[in-house]
Structure 1
């Protein structure tokens, strides 16, 4: 297969749908590995969540899974706040819905650390490997520090995180993934653009291109097979949270699924535009803030990176549908 993807994730509800989307295209795309990072849930739950999805798609023996970094490079703040959105286990606390959580699944976890696996797999699939990263960037930052040639072996890096207009979702100015490990963001944005194209699917882009509630209800209720039942059980609490606490949001935003869709189909992301950017590593109010250098003022700006003007929502929704039906 010409397209090979390594998925680096901190699997909460939106990562689950992103992974289901990826696996629904397994006849066309080779998923070379899933690498886990702490974030939306702790490492043990991230691992179990991914194993449950692999079992749901009958590919536990086909796709290797690796445990990675469980905390940020500089753990000034440690993730955990997402539990009120994603539940204690990262999957809205529905452990018994097929495929259920089970210690038996842990035998499928590889012994190699995710950081080392990223490096070795980039060599094995040199020139045709895309990495999609939808959690903290800790694994990627550690990997590129160990092997500075890593980016030159990739065909692209797709990241969900950060902002374009400094609209935060964990602080007034910072997005969750970038806030909890801004040092990893700095390292990733400093070194990966030297060797490969880096595409950022930022927080504001996703919330500006949501799926309307009527469509979401129809999507989740289309059938009663295992995937639809699982997705509905997973996302109903997520939807309820959104409706209760983000009352001005008129639909569902599965943040990480946008990054996966853009990586799989380059027509989903519209008008990629190149920018340099900066990330704040200090500060009391603004640590983790990511800002585009529109006026090219900073001599120390990171990048370049590509951001997208908009999302083709119809294409994106078709891919969400494929995640449950494909």
Structure 2
């Protein structure tokens, strides 16, 4: 059986790190082939993001995975949004420049060109996981209008379905950072499109993995990757362990983790003092559905998945 080809599009923050770790762990078991990691500005600036991915790949002994630098800003440029959760460099500023791999290891081809080439080489065989702003994918669609129909599937972590925001009152970060890109992608995607929205990842929910579990159970088996993630998360994430992007990868690999998923017609609001970046669903069913929205997941199963990812023998996976 031929492997499922994968592109991982990321802005390289802490939750992106968990997603990439999970994806690479799933490669052999689920017959996947991660052909490229494409990076863009979002949680941090592009160069920091590229170095973060290289650092993760080095720790995982996976420097065979090619990394491409993509968009340096949103379609309508804005200052990079920094949060205490990710720090200035996207990984909590715990590493010195000398500890991070050289940017010389980044592929010379632009990420959008790399996406286009990989998709055209294997039409209808490439799955894209997008866990940052959607600028790279929007540019791909606009530069190569027929490319969307050649993608096998697109899975996005972003947006919201109950109007609960994490950067404004009602907008999730990835869609808020580049709402024009999000609107383009939701409007122009022609392959199956699945979104895991922000609300099911809320750290205040009793259903999400709590910080005591993260630091009392998940890290009981030691490894290079746990040493790396503990260093990154030892302070800030003790109060806010929210591995949103990893949820999306786990839902793909373990479909039974998805307890509720609905087919919606969705777009993105581009105007308004409060609503810019909000994902808007057509509950009146006036327009054709274009996206599957995951609305509930089995977090106890997700915990087992993370235990398996980190090498626990009794994970139950």
- Same fold by TM (over 0.5)? yes
Equivalence map 1:173-212=2 (5 Å): 173-192=170-189, 195-207=190-202, 208=205, 209-212=207-210
For residue 32 of structure 1, what is the aligned residue in structure 2?
35
* 8 A contact 1:92–1:237 mirrored in 2: no
**Alpha carbons of 1:137 and 1:230: their partners in 2 closer, same or farther (altered >3 Å)?**
same
Query: Does 2:93 align with 1:93?
Result: yes
| Aligned mates of 2:257, 2:146 — CA distance in 1 | 29
For residue 294 of structure 1, what is the aligned residue in structure 2?
283
For residue 221 of structure 2, what is the aligned residue in structure 1?
223
For residue 66 of structure 1, what is the aligned residue in structure 2?
68
Q: Deviations over 1:88-143 (max 9, x none)?
A: 1111112159x93133xx23211111011111111223222110101110000000
* 8 A contact 2:159–2:198 mirrored in 1: yes
For residue 245 of structure 1, what is the aligned residue in structure 2?
none
| Aligned mates of 1:18, 1:255 — CA distance in 2 | 8
For residue 165 of structure 1, what is the aligned residue in structure 2?
162
Q: Deviations over 1:195-230 (max 9, x none)?
A: 211101000022254113332123443123211111
For residue 315 of structure 2, what is the aligned residue in structure 1?
none
| Aligned mates of 1:323, 1:91 — CA distance in 2 | 20
| Aligned mates of 1:63, 1:288 — CA distance in 2 | 32
* 8 A contact 2:67–2:107 mirrored in 1: yes
For residue 276 of structure 1, what is the aligned residue in structure 2?
265
| Aligned mates of 2:141, 2:153 — CA distance in 1 | 14
Q: Deviations over 1:224-250 (max 9, x none)?
A: 3211111111122232353xxxxxxxx
| Aligned mates of 1:108, 1:296 — CA distance in 2 | 48
* 8 A contact 1:134–1:161 mirrored in 2: yes
* 8 A contact 1:7–1:35 mirrored in 2: yes
For residue 267 of structure 1, what is the aligned residue in structure 2?
256
For residue 303 of structure 2, what is the aligned residue in structure 1?
317
For residue 14 of structure 2, what is the aligned residue in structure 1?
13
* 8 A contact 1:220–1:232 mirrored in 2: no
Where does structure 2 lack aligned partners over 5 or more consecutive residues?
313-317
1:290 to partner: Cα distance? 1.2
| Aligned mates of 1:14, 1:29 — CA distance in 2 | 21
* 8 A contact 2:260–2:295 mirrored in 1: yes
* 8 A contact 1:165–1:291 mirrored in 2: no
* 8 A contact 1:13–1:238 mirrored in 2: no
Scaled by the length of structure 1, the TM-score of the pair is 0.88
| Aligned mates of 2:197, 2:255 — CA distance in 1 | 16
Secondary structure of the residue aligned to 1:159 is strand
Residue correspondences, number: 306
1:272 to partner: Cα distance? 2.2
Where does structure 1 lack aligned partners over 5 or more consecutive residues?
243-251
Q: Deviations over 1:238-265 (max 9, x none)?
A: 32353xxxxxxxxx32111111112223
Scaled by the length of structure 2, the TM-score of the pair is 0.90
Equivalence map 1:70-81=2 (5 Å): 70-75=72-77, 77-81=78-82
| Aligned mates of 1:17, 1:96 — CA distance in 2 | 21
Q: C-alpha root-mean-square deviation of aligned residues, in Å?
A: 2.0
For residue 247 of structure 1, what is the aligned residue in structure 2?
none
* 8 A contact 2:211–2:239 mirrored in 1: no
**107, 120, 124: which one pairs with 2:117?**
120
